[in-house]
Amino acid sequence: MCSLGVFPAPVTAAQTLLERNNELLSALHPGEHPQTHEPLSACVSVPRFLAVGSACVLALLRWASSFHGSLFPHLTLSSDEMVAEFSQMLDWSDSALRSFAWHPHTDKFAVALLDDSIRIYKSNSSATPTLKHRCQRSVCALQWKPLCGSALAVACQSCLLIWHVDPTSLSTRPSSGCAQVLSHPGHSPITSIAWSPTGSLLVSASPVDTAMMVWDVAAESAVPLQRVGGGGVTYLSWSPDGSRLLAATPSALFRVWETRMWTCERWPCLKGSCQVRKLRKLSITVFELMYAFIYFFKLTFFSQTSWDPRGERLAVLLKGDSQAVNHPSVIAVFKTRSSPVFELLPCGFVMGEAGAEPRFMQFHPHFQHGALLTVCWSDGRISHVPFYFSSAGLLGGDSPQQALASNTADHSSNKLYTEQIS
Amino acid sequence: MIFECLVLLIAWSVLLLPVTAAVFVLLSRFSLFHPIQWISECTSLLTASSTIFSLVVLCGVVLITGLFNLEFYTLVPSIPCSRMALLGTVLHPRQCVHSLVYCTMGMLVMWCASVTIGGRYSTLGIPCRQSESGEVVTCLNEYHLFLLLAGAFMGYSHSFLGVVQNMYYVSFQPIQQYKYPRFKGCLPMVVKCSVIQSLYSARNFAALYFFFGYAPKTWISSTLHLQIDSSLQPLDSLTGLLDFSLLYHLTISGTFLYFTWYLTVLLFRIYVTEAYSFPVQSTFTEDAEQCLPKVLAETNTLVMKFFALQDLALLSQHSLSRRLEVFCLSQPGGHPHNWNAISRECLSLLSELTQRLVAHQDAVASNGRVKSQSASSDTRSASLSSSVMSGTEDIAETPRLGVPLRTPGSVFKSSVGGVHSALTAPFTPDVDSPFSSPAIRRLVGQQEPRSPWFGTVQSPHIMRRGPKLWSASTESQSNGSPPASPVTVPSPPAASEKPSFLAQWLQNRREQVKSFLAKRVLIVYLFNKLPEASSQALFADSQVHIWALQGLSHLVAASFSEDQFGVVQTTLPNILSCLVVLLEAVDRHFKLPHASSKPARAVCRMGDSTYKTLRFALRAALKTAIYKITTTFGEHLNAVNISTEHRKRLQQFLEFKE
């Protein structure tokens, strides 16, 4: 990819601290340490004949579904492998951190750990509630409910859990009575969940189930939306205005649902530039373009992209090669602008401590002074990298000069249009 | 609108009938080893005249099912508060007619099914040879009778479960879908439900026939002068019932029967809950009655109110142009009539719910106080009995605010209003105190509610509250809230010593009777309060409140950028305080016993149980609505003129601490 050449060379020895005056500054500085617990030893003894019998039945079922599996190879994976395959966290199975989610409105985040517990950290409180539930296994995704202070949705292997964690309580171990268990036969493991931006609906997806579930959480009722093509649904994302929902499938196909009457259109995801041109013809929104990006470049090397809420910084996690020595995963950050034309300008690489690879990243949803990128590293650390800039959209704001400076500096030479990328 | 629904529904059910009939024929004649013979037999059968006749009969059945759906459906479920009330509903004349009709329809469908299956099932009488004389006589075909009786049984159980599971309650889905995708999505569920229900019914019916099958058999054979063929194995024996092919055919026919009915129910639900779009304002005066603000304010038809509020919730979220119409000013005069009418209607709905909740809490609280006082004056057993009989909470004291909304209703019912509510009101929770329930009134003796002897079997705490009810504050009764002050009766005035002694004696007798009754297990079982029922009943129609909350909050949030004339700002303090007051009432309600316990989830049922969780949905919608407004307005809320307690509560929302 020629466009990476225009990036400033990564400083390998140091950890990236922040962006100021258009430059990424680095230093040796420790990030935030979540304490990991030793895994719970959950040992349930099963009678031998039962185990053998059920294994035989399962094998028979597997064999019967092998034809289906030959059409959709992901169906032959075991439940855990499937979660690892489709989780947003890189190398999910041996990662100390299983999932991460910022609260959309306040300074608090939830982290799922290897021992299937979830911890909640708040900015101005030392209490860190630990959430444990007997159904909470193989946590694959977390998301806080928008327009709500307490509800956290957890995608587990067998079900969907909705925790109601009272923000004012000082309890460190909320009881499992605070959790609602939502499950639907045939709908597991759940690998992706998405709250609607108004907080009224929750959509969940499983790679095994061709239907995605639209939950009315308070009523605990689900409406299945079934489309057979694609063999399952792996990833879900709402557009910020709540009018569209993207649903990706394990095969080369994804769907965009409109959320008024819940009809969908299929977007086959082929290699090649004709698709990008087609997208441009459709006068698509930024949201769709962004997800089109994910799905075109996942084929090559992109693994995760995250856009800050103001739409000015785009972080891309480039997946490394596990065989090669000198190919670690890195995060490349772009400056973006969506008007008058869509632009991508290189900003730099975000580096962690020596030997640590990024596994997951997410922008803080409402950082005051620019953007704040939170990165989960392979050694179990979580670091926050602030990007200080003034928004180009707020030119009448407090420091217009600075905003102009930060956005016009390298306009002249290295423009990256979408067509050039493709 | 409703009639169009009905016509379309029946048309579609009739069109789908040949398909289901064909599937049924294929399954019933299934033979694994002769596939070609099987197919050819089925095709010849499908074109036979008997099948066509059966289809005509089935069309009649579908038509009647559709009509019954229309007659019985309700948007607000009726929730019986005790088992006695449930029993009353089941034994209600209207319900009896329903059961009778469904039994007949079940028999008709089963007759069609047995004719279609043919073979040994086809006719009621078969020729047989008598063992002694050897002459040919007509004998009773027990297989045919078995299927017919199974049809009647399934018809009755469908009708019965319709009451218990609230089959005719129509709930609205959380998302909008076009009819065809929704139908396609629900079809597997309907098939699964009918198979499961058919299996259950087949099991139950087989057990029933094993024990009581002899009676109808002898009755039929004696009235129709049919002999009983003694050479065949009787079916009401263990060996007779363990016939695989018989059970298979029973299950298949049962599935066909239930599927026909469930499909009609499903289609009806889909047609009824389809969203309807009202114009916000009209330039022509003759259409003015059809406009959203007018329909919202209308109170006599419940269905229209539901549709209007649903439309409001949808437009506030999805339609910019219609929102702008809401915010606009009237052309001559410049008044925000649309917004005023809509916000007034929503706020009145919400404050009505608040009053209902507060009244219920007061009733519960004052009950507790009265009981604790009376325990000292009465005998221990009586007070025990009273607490057993009346339960801890009593919805009877809740005044009937918002009467038009609470009557379970279809258009017809609400248009005939009075008659209907007089018929079913005894069984709706509002007037349903365990002992003042009319069912027991009927058991004890037919007494006119207005007669002076009315209330002889009143519940103890109501009696003890009696003096206060009739002597004290009439204005508190007239404005609908129950008198909250505790009773101070035990020392009656000296002037009325003599009659009060008589009354005391009467009351003691009454207490004794009641304590005697309270010890009977069956009575306690029947009259004990079902937990959660009063809570569910309070929130039975909360779907309208949820829509009102969604509509209001989204409109207010949109007004932040779209309201050019500032029409929303004038009502913002009202809206905020109304929401906060409602939130406080809801919070207090959830502190009552049983209010926050979750109902068990039904596995696979055709009956809709969404009404059981409506209170949770309302609480979530309320919090989301307040958050929607606070996050949109942010610090600007400090400029809004509201009381300090409410501001404190809203500050919690601003800091996301709720």
Please report, rounded to a whole number, the percentage of residues in chain B having pLDDT higher than 90.
Answer: 41
| pLDDT at residue number B372 | 41
Query: B364 vs B397, which has greater pLDDT?
Result: B364
| pLDDT at residue number B488 | 38
| pLDDT at residue number B472 | 36
**Shortest Cα distance, chain B CAs vs residue A219, angstroms:** 5
Tell me whether strands A192-195 and A202-205 are parallel, antiparallel or unpaired. Answer: antiparallel
| pLDDT at residue number B432 | 38
Under 8 Å between Cβ of A87 and A359: no
Q: What is the pLDDT of residues B125-171, one digit of tens each?
A: 888 877 667 778 888 888 999 999 999 999 999 999 988 888 999 99
Nearest-angstrom CA–CA distance, B326 and B568 = 10
Q: Least CB-CB distance to A223: which of B175, B621, B631?
A: B175
Tell me the domain boundaries of chain B.
1-273, 285-366+528-655
Cβ <8 Å between A259 and B175: yes
- The average pLDDT across B22-34 equals 86
Residue B302 pLDDT exceeds 50: yes
Mutation for testing the B interface, residue in A147, A216, A255 having most B CBs under 10 Å: A147
DSSP H/E element including B335: none
DSSP state of B636: G
Lowest mean pLDDT among A161-175, B119-133, B233-247, B481-495: B481-495
Q: What is the pLDDT of residues B585-615, one digit of tens each?
A: 999 999 988 888 887 776 677 878 888 889 9
Q: Least CB-CB distance to B627: which of A148, A216, A261?
A: A148
Residue A302 pLDDT exceeds 80: no
Nearest-angstrom CA–CA distance, B194 and B277 = 34
Considering only CA atoms, which of B119, B106, B39 is closest in space to residue B256? B106
Chain B residues whose C-beta is within 8 A of a chain A C-beta are 173-178, 181, 184-185, 314, 317-318, 550, 554, 598, 601, 610, 613-614, 616-617, 619-621, 623-624, 627-628, 631, 653, 655-658
Nearest-angstrom CA–CA distance, A400 and A397 = 6
Q: What is the pLDDT of residues A242-288, one digit of tens each?
A: 888 888 888 777 788 989 899 998 877 654 433 443 443 333 444 55
Q: What is the pLDDT of residues B563-580, one digit of tens each?
A: 888 899 889 999 999 999
Residue B229 pLDDT exceeds 80: no
Residue A342 pLDDT exceeds 60: yes
Token pair 């995708």 is found at B181
Cβ <8 Å between B175 and A201: yes
Nearest-angstrom CA–CA distance, B576 and B627 = 11
B211, exposed or middle or buried, with CB in 10 Å at 0-12, 13-18, 19+? exposed
Contacts of A183 in chain B (CB under 8 A): none
**Shortest Cα distance, chain A CAs vs residue B561, angstroms:** 15
For the ranges A70-79, A140-149, A278-287, B237-246, the maximum mean pLDDT occurs at A140-149
Cβ <8 Å between B181 and A263: yes
Lowest mean pLDDT among A287-296, B52-61, B142-151, B544-553: A287-296
| pLDDT at residue number A325 | 67
Residue B6 pLDDT exceeds 60: yes
CB atoms within 10 A of CB A20: 15
Chain B residue at shortest CA distance from A164: B658
Mutation for testing the A interface, residue in B612, B618, B632, B656 having most A CBs under 10 Å: B656
Q: Least CB-CB distance to B616: which of A218, A225, A262?
A: A218
Q: What is the pLDDT of residues A28-55, one digit of tens each?
A: 544 443 333 333 333 345 577 778 888 8
- The average pLDDT across A374-393 equals 86
Contacts of A200 in chain B (CB under 8 A): 174, 550, 621, 624
- The average pLDDT across B240-269 equals 92
A164, exposed or middle or buried, with CB in 10 Å at 0-12, 13-18, 19+? middle
Question: What is the average pLDDT value for chain A, to the nearest integer?
Answer: 76
* CA triple B361-A147-B636, angle to 5 deg: 95
Q: What is the pLDDT of residues A67-87, one digit of tens each?
A: 666 777 788 888 888 888 888
* B406 CB-side CA count, 13 A: 24
- The average pLDDT across B634-658 equals 91
Token pair 């330039």 is found at B283
| pLDDT at residue number A247 | 86
Cβ <8 Å between B631 and A105: yes
Lowest mean pLDDT among B260-274, B278-292, B538-552: B278-292
Residue A317 pLDDT exceeds 90: no
pTM of the model: 0.79
Lowest mean pLDDT among A153-157, B457-461, B517-521: B457-461
Mutation for testing the B interface, residue in A120, A220, A225, A226 having most B CBs under 10 Å: A220
* Position A294 confidence tier, pLDDT thresholds 50, 70, 90: low
Q: How far is CA B299 from CA B277, B305, B353, in A?
A: 18, 7, 16
Cβ <8 Å between B174 and A225: no
**Shortest Cα distance, chain A CAs vs residue B304, angstroms:** 21
Cβ <8 Å between B613 and A167: no
| pLDDT at residue number A330 | 82
* Position A4 confidence tier, pLDDT thresholds 50, 70, 90: low
Q: Least CB-CB distance to B620: which of A218, A221, A261?
A: A218
Q: Least CB-CB distance to A218: which of B176, B613, B628?
A: B613
Cβ <8 Å between A219 and B185: no
Query: B575 vs A413, which has greater pLDDT?
Result: B575
Residue A223 pLDDT exceeds 70: yes
Query: B527 vs A202, which has greater pLDDT?
Result: A202
Cβ <8 Å between A261 and B628: no
**Shortest Cα distance, chain A CAs vs residue B255, angstroms:** 22
Residue B118 pLDDT exceeds 50: yes
**Shortest Cα distance, chain B CAs vs residue A65, angstroms:** 20
3-state secondary structure B172-200: CCCCCCCHHHHHHHHHHHHHHHHHHHHHH
Contacts of A224 in chain B (CB under 8 A): 185
A-B C-beta contacts closer than 8 Å: 84
Lowest mean pLDDT among A7-16, A52-61, B168-177, B577-586: A7-16
Q: Least CB-CB distance to B657: which of A167, A180, A224?
A: A167
Chain A residues whose C-beta is within 8 A of a chain B C-beta are 103, 105-106, 147-150, 167-168, 180, 198-201, 214, 216-221, 223-226, 242-243, 259-263
DSSP H/E element including B427: none
Structure tokens at B571: 């009502």
Q: Least CB-CB distance to A226: which of B175, B185, B616?
A: B185
For the ranges A4-8, A271-275, B240-244, the maximum mean pLDDT occurs at B240-244
Contacts of A104 in chain B (CB under 8 A): none
Beta bridge pairs of residue A215? A202, A222
Nearest-angstrom CA–CA distance, B101 and B515 = 41
* Position B45 confidence tier, pLDDT thresholds 50, 70, 90: confident
Please report, rounded to a whole number, the percentage of residues in chain B having pLDDT higher than 70.
Answer: 79
- The average pLDDT across A358-381 equals 89
Q: What is the pLDDT of residues B304-361, one digit of tens each?
A: 899 999 999 999 999 899 999 999 998 888 899 999 999 999 999 999 999 999 999 9
Q: What is the pLDDT of residues B414-470, one digit of tens each?
A: 333 333 333 333 333 433 333 333 433 333 333 333 433 433 344 444 333 333 333
Beta bridge pairs of residue A376? A360, A382
